[in-house]
Amino acid sequence: MSLKDKILKKKAEVGIVGLGYVGLSLTVEFLRSGFKVYGIDNDNKKVNRMNAGEFPDQEIARSIINPAIDSNQLQISQTYDVLARVDCIIICVPTPLRQTKDPDMQYIMQAVAEIRKYLHQDTLVILESTTYPGTTEEVLLSELENQKLKIGKDFFLAFSPERVDPGNSKYGTKNTPKIVGGITSECTEMAKILYEQVIDSVVPVSSAATAEMVKLLENTFRAVNIGLVNEIAIACNKLDIPVWEVIEAAATKPFGFMPFFPGPGLGGHCIPIDPLYLSWKLKTLNYRARFIELASEINTYMPEYCLSRIVQLLNQNKQSIYGSNILVLGVAYKKNVEDTRESPALDIIRLLEDNGAKVDYHDPYVPNVKVDENSIKRSIQLTSKSIEKYCLVVLVTDHSCFDYKMIQNSAHLVFDTRNSFKEPFETLSRL
SS (H, E, C) 176-208: CCEEEEECCHHHHHHHHHHHHCCCCCEEECCCH
Give the tens place of pLDDT for each residue, 191-212.
999 999 999 999 999 999 999 9
Handedness of CA 268, 271, 274, 280 (dihedral sign): negative
Class assignment of domain 225-430?
Answer: alpha beta
In the prediction, which pLDDT does 134 show? 95
Q: Confidence band (pLDDT; 50, 70, 90) for 340?
A: very high
Neighbour count for residue 124 (Cβ, 10 Å): 25
DSSP 120: -
In the prediction, which pLDDT does 78 show? 93
Q: What is the mean pLDDT of the chain?
A: 94
Q: Confidence band (pLDDT; 50, 70, 90) for 378?
A: very high
Give the tens place of pLDDT for each residue, 304-338.
999 999 999 999 999 999 999 999 999 999 999 99
CATH architecture of the domain with range 3-206: 3-Layer(aba) Sandwich (3.40)
Q: Which of 187, 270, 306, 391 is catalytic?
A: 270
In the prediction, which pLDDT does 147 show? 80
Give the tens place of pLDDT for each residue, 286-296.
999 999 999 99
In the prediction, which pLDDT does 240 show? 96
Give the tens place of pLDDT for each residue, 275-286.
998 999 999 999
User: What is the average per-residue pLDDT within 167-172?
Assistant: 88
Residue range(s) in the chain whose domain bears CATH number 3.40.50.720:
3-206, 225-430
In the prediction, which pLDDT does 244 show? 97
Q: Exposure of 335 by Cβ count < 10 A (0-12 exposed, 13-18 middle, 19+ buried)?
A: middle
**Alpha-carbon distance 185 to 338, whole Å?**
39
**Alpha-carbon distance 425 to 431, whole Å?**
14
**Alpha-carbon distance 91 to 101, whole Å?**
23
Nearest to 307 by CA among 295, 297, 322: 322
In the prediction, which pLDDT does 1 show? 87
* pTM for this entry: 0.92
**Alpha-carbon distance 396 to 72, whole Å?**
43
The answer to whether residues 54 and 201 touch, using CB atoms and an 8 Å cutoff, is no
The torsion angles phi and psi of 414, rounded to 5 degrees, stand at: -130, 130
**Alpha-carbon distance 378 to 362, whole Å?**
8
Q: Which helix (H) or strand (E) holds 123?
A: strand 123-127
Q: Is 187 a catalytic residue?
A: no
Whether the per-residue pLDDT at 373 is higher than 90: the answer is no
In the prediction, which pLDDT does 419 show? 97
In the prediction, which pLDDT does 97 show? 83
DSSP 137: I
The DSSP line for 23-69 is: HHHHHHHHHHTT-EEEEE-S-HHHHHHHHTT--SSHHHIIIIIHHHH
Give the tens place of pLDDT for each residue, 227-274.
999 999 999 999 999 999 999 999 999 999 999 999 999 988 788 888
Q: Is 279 left (phi over 0), alpha (psi -120 to 50) or beta?
A: alpha
Three-class DSSP labels, 249-275: HHCCCCCCCCCCCCCCCCCCCCCCCHH
**Alpha-carbon distance 390 to 326, whole Å?**
5
Whether the per-residue pLDDT at 12 is higher than 80: the answer is yes
User: What is the average per-residue pLDDT within 48-57?
Assistant: 82
Share of the chain above pLDDT 70, in %: 99
In the prediction, which pLDDT does 272 show? 86
Q: Exposure of 10 by Cβ count < 10 A (0-12 exposed, 13-18 middle, 19+ buried)?
A: middle
